[in-house]
């Protein structure tokens, strides 16, 4: 056995750098895989954020469309011959029309400007629920 010790030691000396290189290669491969996984994760988050931003844009378009319908409806109501002093609940018809006009003035997403609309959309993240009111 004593005669084999120099040979064993020599073998270990030759194998040690090979094992070290393999360990380095394994660690580098793992590092590259983690980088690739992180890049895929970031790309997925960007895709989700873009989708959520688009959904918010569509939501704002729907809001604007509803506002336009309400504006046309109110215009039709004001064309009718009505007694504006007639009470409906705790308000007169004139007060109800004023109430509706107030909501139309504040509820139109375009009234806040294009910059405000896109600022609202810009705040959307991949985690943001896009069913939030704009203002």
**Model pLDDT for residues 120-132, shown as the tens digit of each residue:** 999 988 776 655 5
Judge residue 71's burial from the number of C-beta atoms within 10 Å of its C-beta, 0-12 exposed, 13-18 middle, 19 or more buried: middle
pLDDT at position 131 is 54
pLDDT at position 135 is 43
User: Which ranges of the chain have pLDDT less than 50?
Assistant: 133-135
């Amino acid at each position: 056995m004593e005669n084999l010790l120099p040979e064993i030691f020599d073998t270990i000396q030759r194998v040690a750098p090979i094992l070290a290189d393999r360990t380095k290669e394994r660690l580098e491969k793992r590092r590259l895989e983690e980088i690739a996984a992180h890049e895929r994760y970031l790309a997925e988050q960007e895709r989700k954020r873009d989708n959520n931003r688009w959904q918010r844009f569509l939501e704002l378009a729907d809001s604007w469309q509803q506002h336009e319908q309400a504006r046309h409806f109110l215009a039709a109501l004001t064309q009718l011959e009505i007694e504006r002093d007639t009470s409906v609940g705790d308000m007169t018809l004139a007060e109800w029309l004023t109430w509706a006009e107030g909501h139309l003035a504040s509820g139109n997403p375009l009234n806040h400007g294009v910059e405000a609309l896109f600022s609202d959309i810009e705040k959307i993240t991949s985690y943001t629920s896009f069913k939030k009111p704009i203002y």
